A and B are shown apart, each in its own frame.
Chain A
Amino acid sequence: MWFLTGFFALFFYLAVIIFVAGVGFKIYQYIRTPAPLKIPTMPAPLTRTGVGVRLFSEVVLFKSLFRANKWIWLFGWIFHFALLLVLLRHLRYFIDPVWWWVALIQPFGKYAAFAMILGLVGLLVRRITVERIRYISNPSDYLMLALLLIIGISGAMMTFVAHTDIMQFKAFVRGMMTFSWQPIPTDPALLLHLAAVFLLMIVFPYSKLLHAPGIFFSPSRNQVDNPREKRHLAPWAAEMEKAERSSDS
């Protein structure tokens, strides 16, 4: 019991540290690296507000994906938004007292688990059955889906089949946050659920999950179309010009 509690508490800290530091570093890297040329996919917005609208339509509605392929869009969108609901619902394990809107989404969040599983199964079936997607899939692509399915199914099991002692679990979570450890409930579904979530957090900064921060930094989607009006110059290109000028004179 104490062994399990200690193990999962340390696993949790490790996952959080790797996730935060890893993703933080990637974002720092993206911010630091310039995009030397204007390469928005046209037609592109002419203002920053327009870019905001474009990014919104990509992040929230998956607009490009919708134009590309309705099936991938459908399963992908269902999965992501179910996941969002489920994540928000989970806030209740971290905060006390529970915010009113978190309480409000609780019933939807519970059933969103099924939508999430449906989306994942749809994506997995396509990955296996559509020849061209099967061709481009790496082992890690299947593992990622498997991991998410394990998370979804074990989570739904706890909500709908074999209930876990939620109060004790919440005490464990709050204990980890305040560094005063409380015993973890030991149902296998819960332990599996947690282990898979932590694993996902650990691989996040080193895998394709980087698409989540990536989309905001993609120059083909986040640049304003104004190259004639405003000179766009990367710092390294400016250096190059300066070096040239001083060697000319």
Chain B
Amino acid sequence: MAKAKIEVPELKEYSVMPVLQPGVMKGVGPYVSAAEFQEPLGFPGELVDNWEEKAVDKLGDLLNRYRGLRVFLDSCVRCGACTDKCHYLLGTSDPKNMPVARQDLLRQVYRRYYTLPGKFFGKMGWEWGKKLIGAREMDKEVLDDWYNYFHQCSQCRRCSVFCPYGIDTAEISMAARNIMDTVGKGQKYCNQIIGKVFKIGNNLGLPEPALLDTLEGLEEDIEDETGVKVELPLDRKDVDILLITPSADFFAEPHVDGLMGYAKVFHEAGVSWTISSYASEGANFGMFIGSYENMREISLRIRKAAIDLNVKRIVFGECGHAWRVAYSFLNTLAGPFDFLDPNYPVPQHICEFTYNLLQEDKLKFDKSRNDDMVLTFHDSCNVARATRMGDMPGGQFMIPREVIKAACNHYYDMEDETIHDQTFCCGGGGGLLTDDLMDIRVKGALPRMQSLKNVVEDHQVTHLAAICAICKSQFTKVLPYYGFKMDQIVSVHQLVSNALILTGQDED
């Protein structure tokens, strides 16, 4: 639980490997989900009686369904390459936040129950044997460690980039959370949110009238600012594009400025579009809890909305893990999308959409409107390491930067080792964006804050642009802990919105 006072780590010039402090982040983890949040997702309301056995069985089930899990649990040689790659380790010094140590929490149980020597030593009750091969009984202590440390992983995949076998701790965390949900120990934050999507259509539980109200307000704002009527339609049928965006875009700062940016871009492109109240959520927390079934359930809402509204294309707004589920999983979970226009990829990212217009020279910018800012770009982990944009590998790095540069005069990258596929997580991803995890969120932001500080000092950078709803919310909260201001984080399409000259706009 959140400590009363958060010790903010000191910003140094580079990320340095701290001296290990075993157990400093030991704790009880985030709030445990109550029965009312468990049951709608198909999970037991509280820890079931024979949970040890159930947990081991569920692990077996996952091993048979996910090759990655099996290969990852078998293959780690404890070479140590990943040990200094996790932002939570760098920020907390707790050795159990080393990716391999985090994996080992699950691997120990795997080795005990699903390998021959583990079964043998277990049956004989030979402790030395278990110790020798790194096997452990499934017990309360293990479960507590799982709950604590698998909620100190943002599933950012940075460790996977550096592992010689691509072992992805994110997959292990997802499996562990899935097992814990199955035995009745779920995380309140994620599960409550998924329940809201099932009931109302989005993470925030915004019902349709509230949504309509918000969108109308935004239309007025744009008209006041530009003199041009730009629409933000809700549930409009027979349009070109269904926009799926994280619900934070409807009200949070700076997200909402990004939403206005998308609306202006669609307006200038001359395409018709709509938001759906039924599928008014781009985020998909089913991924964070490793539940194929729940992730699919949420994805199917998007399919249904696309069919009901009779659209031709699906475009996603700025959100990291949403884009992962969209780009990498949507076709699997809710496809095939053969009823959409085959001339466009399904789905598309709003940055791809804007970038294509730039290529066709269809957008006019007055970059000087962003001259009060010097920018850098934060590659969100899910976008960088789990998706692509455009038609070449690495498009996910190039396209958002090109969009920013089209709208701004002053842009600098952070150091190479902290961007692109080596980017550091904001510290709040993977279902950790909750107040009861504030301590780990602040500490996990350390490496990102270090590289930000360096570009601030070297190039007088004033703002950090991002394309992820979680990153934006997280930075708004943690920037002040490191001596920055909360409004130094901006949306990429906020920059577009500022600089885009709308046809017929009054020149100021």
Contact = CB atoms under 8 A, between A and B. Distances in A.
Contacts of B394: 43
B81 to A, nearest CB: 4
Q: By CB atoms of chain B within 10 A, which of A30, A33, A225, A229 has the most?
A: A33
B272 interface: no
A218 B76 contact: no
Contacts of A199: none
Interface string A228-249: 1111111011001000000000
Contacts of B63: 33
A214 B69 CA distance: 11
A210 interface: yes
A36 interface: yes
Contacts of B133: 138, 140, 206-207
A126 interface: yes
A101 to B, nearest CB: 28
B79 A42 contact: no
A72 B63 CA distance: 30
A55 to B, nearest CB: 10
Contacts of B157: 41
Contacts of B336: 231
Given A39-B171, A42-B387, A231-B335, A132 B80 contact: yes
B85 interface: yes
A68 B82 CA distance: 7
Q: By CB atoms of chain A within 10 A, which of B131, B386, B421 has the most?
A: B386
A136 interface: yes
B421 A136 contact: no
A41 B65 contact: no
Contacts of B101: 135-136
Interface string B128-141: 00011110000000
A97 interface: no
A67 B100 CA distance: 17
A67 B416 CA distance: 12
B134 A138 contact: yes
A215 B164 contact: yes
B83 A132 contact: yes
Contacts of A138: 78, 131-134
Contact of A133 (B19, B80, B168): B80
B166 A218 contact: yes
Given A68-B162, A218-B68, A140 B168 contact: no
Contacts, number: 204
A165 interface: no
B466 interface: no
Given A35-B67, A43-B394, A135-B95, A208 B328 contact: no
Contact of B78 (A141, A210, A217, A221): A141
Contacts of B422: 67
Contacts of B161: 41, 64, 67
A109 interface: no
A237 B396 contact: no
Nearest to B128: A139
Interface in A23-69: 26, 29-30, 33-39, 41-46, 58, 62, 64-65, 67-69
A76 interface: yes
Contact of B75 (A62, A69, A218): A218
B14 to A, nearest CB: 15
Contacts of A163: none
B313 interface: no
A220 interface: yes
Contacts of A136: 78, 80, 83, 95, 98, 100-101, 104
Interface in B372-411: 384-388, 392-394, 396
Interface string A200-221: 0000001110110011011111
Contact of A236 (B65, B71, B327, B392): B65
A221 B385 CA distance: 12
Interface in B103-139: 104, 115-117, 131-134
B229 interface: no
A183 to B, nearest CB: 34
Nearest to B329: A37
Contact of A131 (B19, B66, B67, B163): B19
A218 B388 CA distance: 20
B162 to A, nearest CB: 4
B20 A132 contact: yes
Contacts of B331: 227-228, 230-232
A141 B134 CA distance: 10
A1 interface: no
A42 B75 contact: no
Contacts of A228: 327, 331, 345-347
Q: Shortest 7 CB-CB distances between A and B: which pairs?
A: A214-B75, A220-B166, A68-B162, A43-B393, A133-B80, A68-B81, A33-B67
29 contacts: A30-B67, A33-B63, A37-B328, A41-B157, A41-B385, A42-B385, A42-B387, A43-B394, A64-B163, A68-B162, A68-B163, A68-B164, A69-B81, A72-B79, A72-B81, A132-B83, A132-B84, A136-B98, A136-B100, A136-B101, A138-B133, A138-B134, A208-B78, A211-B74, A218-B71, A227-B332, A228-B345, A231-B332, A237-B332
Interface of B: 17, 19-20, 22, 63-68, 70-72, 74-85, 95, 98, 100-101, 104, 115-117, 131-134, 157, 160-168, 171, 292-293, 327-329, 331-332, 335-336, 345-347, 384-388, 392-394, 396, 421-422
